[in-house]
A and B are shown apart, each in its own frame.
Chain A
């Protein structure tokens, strides 16, 4: 074979490999990262009344009926209902999860709906992180830009973490994962400075305490410990699995 024929065969082989393997590559990528980037904004938005009801379902009615309720608009969260007990309920989206790693798979998942009711200390010292992340997401910033922005925000604006900060996530309608149990489990979350999870006995055999990878210093210097509630906010049982 002369040089020209070799060159032609090599080129055709390369093209064939690329063409034939492309669908496989795409499928493998989908399996690994089904939500690699932000979906159109509309997919993250909800009917206003449905969002208010979903937000309130995060906690028992005795708590959520007098809480502030937020809804997500095109430029960030807005207060839709003014409360009087200092609690704040909202429906968080996937981007409140970890930025990287295996637990980041749902970061851009437009189906994620995380109803949460913050108690007053958490409303003052944790909720601002939800406002900030969401604001930057809706401004079209990348994960790296958001992580940098959060670092600056923590240094300059975020109030110190208040003792007793916690939140309720007890909505039967919450959608936290594409796995079979979309609503995972009714649970409470407790916010602390960064610490060794072993101090809470977290994730040890038969311990009900779990360390949430949500923040964990990347970049928020906050740990979130979760404890199953055992029942949904409507009082029905949610047996610990």
Chain B
């Protein structure tokens, strides 16, 4: 609001200053450039702020932030299902180049810790990254 008010009053001052005169091409170019620059300067922070509100994680963080302690990741992966299922499941952990199988299972279940939990619903809340 405050930036917008400042911007519009500045524009008003320019218009006021030129009122009653027919602007030549050079004056017009200067005025238009000033208006454009003010819109860009004052509008940009607001745009960034509203973008951040919508998506707090707009790009990938450093890889280390997605990695976990290996044993903790195995335990977390197994906690996804009751022990009766996860005890015989294959467990994978995320490494620097992708998922690696760390426990070979025998019941056909597969337990990775996915880092995009709850898929679409959280992605719409900006939790993809």
Binding site for B on A (CB under 8 A): 198-199, 201, 204-207
Contacts and interface: CB of A to CB of B under 8 A. Distances in A.
Give the most central of A201, A205, A206: most B CB within 10 Å: A201
B106 to A, nearest CB: 11
A206 B83 contact: yes
A206 B84 contact: yes
B108 A207 contact: no
B108 A204 contact: no
21 contacts: A198-B107, A198-B108, A199-B108, A201-B81, A201-B82, A201-B84, A201-B85, A201-B109, A204-B82, A204-B84, A204-B85, A205-B82, A205-B83, A205-B84, A206-B82, A206-B83, A206-B84, A207-B81, A207-B82, A207-B84, A207-B85
A199 B110 CA distance: 11
Interface of B: 81-85, 107-109
Contacts of B109: 201
Nearest to B86: A201
B88 to A, nearest CB: 10
Contacts of A198: 107-108
B38 to A, nearest CB: 48
Nearest to B81: A201
Contacts of A204: 82, 84-85
A198 B107 CA distance: 8
